Structure formats: structure tokens, C-alpha cells
Structure 1
Amino acid sequence: MKKSVLQKFKLIALMLLTLSISPQVSGQNKKTSKQNNTVVLYVTRHGKTILNTMDRVQGWADTPLTPEGVEVAKFLGLGIKDVNFKAAYSSDLGRARQTARIVLDTKGQQNLGITEVPQLRETNFGSYEGDLNSKMWGDAALYLHYKSSKELFADMSKNPEILKRAMNTFKTLETLGIGENYEDVKARGQKAIREIAEKEYLTGGGNILVVAHGMAISVFLSDLDSGGKKISGTHMGNAAVSKVIYKDGKFTIESFGDMSYVEKGKQVLGK
């Protein structure tokens, strides 16, 4: 009889011990699961706008998409149709928001909302906003001791550091005192991308659409890759996609300025 009672006490003690350990094990499993929640960011440039068409400076200044810009956003939507987006973000400038909406509507995700993030804006070019691109780049070229903007661009294609110098020059030369330099844009943009990635990581990971701006994207991604991969491009086509993977707190840039999704969309329509 005494042996039977002793066995019962042992069984109860074992059950209590199991219950006390289970929540901790469950928490550990939950934590491990979160660490595997890969986030895939599809960082996209907006479609072509009125100021793009006029070859004028467009940073914080904003104009809507042209018919061509709407069309290329639709091409992207069709070309990326097989990618199911869990969330969508854009800068708070109309051309980025408009592009994101067209892409989502075209691919069949009409009910997915767009979170606007001001830190994803293009560079603020100050008094150069709305002026001819040739004027701004020409001024920068002369300031940096180039004979012409053509010579500046040729050097920039070989040395991405020249973009940094040019952007710093824009801030130096603009007269409103509100322009941004390379580090200004990089700091706010990388902070925004990291916050988006970490937020989505904590809620299960997934595919995320991020619509921003050409020069800004090249700056945001310039040295974001944890493996040391550098972004050498300084220009990308409208609706180009840069695919960025976020896992275990690190970023990997899988592609930059990819136009294959747009081309796939064109093929769908027989363009």
C-alpha cells in the first residue's frame, strides 16, 4: 500500500515538472520559428512622371504618372502576379503611392492597403527642384572640375563614389538651405528599410512591396548587403525591381534594377 502511494506521489511530481517546463519549451520554439521568418523586399522605382518626361529635377517635388508611367506600372503588376504580397509600403510622394496602387490592383490584390513612409522619399534637391536636370548636373560637374556633365556621368559609371560627391555638391550649391546630401538620404532610407524588415519579420515574414525612387534606392541599398556586396548602379528604369532578402538580422541584395518583371508583363499583353 505504501509503495502504491509513493508511486502516485512520483507520478504527480513528474506531471508538475512537465507543466513547469512546457511553457519555456514552447517559448523557445516560438523564438526559433521567428528567426526563420524570411522577409523578401521588392524595392521598386515608381513609373514615369510628367517631370521625368520633361527631364526636370524631381526630388521632393512631385508630379503624377504619365500614361506611359501608368502602363509600365501595369506591366510590373502583371509580371509580378505570381508573387503574393503580405504588405505594401511606399514613400508619401504621389508618384510612388500611385505606382504601388496600380501594381497591386493589376495583380489582383486590390484589398491590400499601402503604408506611406516619408523616409522613403527621393533626395531633396532644394532650389534645383523643378529645374532642368542639365542645369543641376552641369553645375555639379563644373564644381567637381569636370568639363561637362557627360564627363561626370562617364566617371560615375566606373566609380560609384562619384555619385556621393555629386549629391554632396547639390546640397552645397542649392540656395534654399533645405537640400540633402548622400549621408542624409542614406541614413533615413536605411533606417526605414530596416524598420520595415524587422516589423514584417516579427509578424511572420513574407513578400513585401516597397515603392520608392531611383536615386534614393541606389543610395539606400549602396552598402546594405551584409556580405559586403556594393551597388554600382546609379540609375534604373521606371518600375525596376531590386530584390532584397532579410533574414537573421542581415540583408542580402539578390538583384538590383531588374526590369525582367516589366518585360514579363509586356509579354503577357503581347507588347
Structure 2
Amino acid sequence: MAINLYIVRHGETYFNFLHRFQGWSDAPLTPKGIQHGHDAGTRLARIHFDGAYSSDLTRAIHTARYILQNNTADSPKEPTQLFDFREQFFGSFEGVNGETVTTTLTAYKTEPFETYANLIATYGMADAMNTIQIADPFHFAEDDAQWWARVSHGFDDIRFRHKDGDNVLIVSHGTTIRGIAEKFARHDFASESVKNGAVMQLALEPDTASILRFNDVTTVF
């Protein structure tokens, strides 16, 4: 047995639409992003969630609320906010255009790449996070170890709050979801950009997790 996690990426924000690194910055959902939340809620409507959580950033909180508004299975009405499931902090790159960030990061790698997704595919999520921290002139950005210490603490918190067989909703963020996939041995998943409103389904066990679905925007659960 395991705890059943449904980790959803928040809906589209204005920073997403403008192709800007977002991290801990808090851009609001676009109208399309609001619809992403409702659409995810429709797909997850029949699941009774024993717990519902979001990162404490507005885009995740609002998306979780839209999901729960659509739930018909006596789930919580309001998400509990957990800092641990925030996005990676991008430091000086917060709010910066993605192409500009990518151009900066190429100076720190030997293999050429054209996009941030290419960087992840070539070097892996941990290396990508570390490169952002190194390239940040003030070194405010989180590296892989800092990010994973925070997120793994979040998983331990979920394990403490819930028992085997519980269904748990968590609304989180794209880079964090990709990083989680890689930590649980799915670099192939980590190389995919996560769609807004997409579901990653995990079976959370005492010391690890198994990924059952990733980047799913079609399944009606």
C-alpha cells in the first residue's frame, strides 16, 4: 500500500504566457490559467481527497481552489498551504525572459543547447538547478541540494499527515514536478515540459515513490 498523490501543475500565469522565469515570483493566473484549474478539477472530480494542499504561492492556491470547487466526492473545500512544494527559487533570474536566461547559462556549459528544456534533457534536472545557482551573480537561487531538502521534507510531512490508501491532492509547479520525476528515476519524464493543469500521479511509499502517470491532461479519474 501507499499514499496516492495527485500532483497538479498550476494554471497558466502571465509570466508563463510571456515566457519569463517565475520561481517564487507571484504572477496571477490568466483567464486560460483559470480554465486549466477548472479542467483539472473536472478530471479529478470523482476522487475523494483525504487531504488537499498547494504551495503557498498564489497561482497554486488559486488553482487548487478551482480544482476543489469542481470536486463532487466530499473533499476539502480549501487547500492547506505548504511552503515545501514551492517552485525552485531562481534568484536573480526571477522574472527574466527565458531566452535571456538560457543565453546566460550557455556560458557555463560545454555542450551547446538552445532552450532550458534542452539543458535539462542533456544534463539533467539537478545539473540545471545547480547551473542556475552558479550563474546567479548573487547566488540567491536554490541549488539542487537546497531544493530537494525542502521538497523531500514536504513528502515527509505528507507521510506524517496521511496513511496508506489516502488520496492526496498537491498543486505545485513545473520545475518542481520535473525535479521530483528525476529524483524518482524518471529522467525521461523530467525532460518534458509540464503542461499547465497536468497531473502527475505517484504512489508515495515510506522511502521512495513510483510514478504512475505524468503530464496527464486527458484522463478522467
Q: TM-score, normalised by structure 1?
A: 0.73
Confirm whether residue 94 of structure 1 aligns to residue 58 of structure 2.
yes
Q: Aligned partners of 2:113, 2:187: CA distance in 1, in Å? A: 25
Kindly, what percent of the aligned residue pairs are identical?
28
Uncovered stretches (5+) of structure 2, i.e. residues with no partner: none
Confirm whether residue 77 of structure 1 aligns to residue 35 of structure 2.
no
Q: Aligned partners of 2:68, 2:82: CA distance in 1, in Å? A: 17
- Root-mean-square deviation (CA, aligned residues, Å) is 2.2
The correspondence for 1:137, drawn from 77, 83, 102, is: 102
In structure 2, the partner of 1:244 is 202
Q: Aligned partners of 2:172, 2:117: CA distance in 1, in Å? A: 23
Confirm whether residue 123 of structure 1 aligns to residue 91 of structure 2.
no
Q: Aligned partners of 1:200, 1:165: CA distance in 2, in Å? A: 32
User: Can you list the C-alpha shifts for 1:65-118, whole angstroms capped at 9, x where unaligned?
Assistant: 100000111111111112111110111000001100000002245753311111
Q: Secondary structure at the match of 1:190?
A: helix
Q: Secondary structure at the match of 1:242?
A: strand
In structure 1, the partner of 2:70 is 106
- The residue type paired with residue 143 of structure 1 is Y
Alignment of 1:206-221 (within 5 A): 206-221=166-181
Q: Aligned partners of 1:180, 1:154: CA distance in 2, in Å? A: 20
User: Can you list the C-alpha shifts for 1:15-53, whole angstroms capped at 9, x where unaligned?
Assistant: xxxxxxxxxxxxxxxxxxxxx5x3100011100001000
Contact 1:244 1:255 in 2 (8 A): yes
In structure 1, the partner of 2:20 is 56
Q: Aligned partners of 2:119, 2:97: CA distance in 1, in Å? A: 21
Q: Aligned partners of 1:174, 1:98: CA distance in 2, in Å? A: 30
Q: TM-score, normalised by structure 2?
A: 0.89
Mark the structure with the bigger radius of gyration.
1
Deviation at 1:147, TM superposition (A): 4.1
Residue 231 to residue 243, structure 1, CA distance change in 2 (3 Å) = farther
Contact 1:86 1:208 in 2 (8 A): yes
Uncovered stretches (5+) of structure 1, i.e. residues with no partner: 1-35, 266-271
Deviation at 1:119, TM superposition (A): 1.2
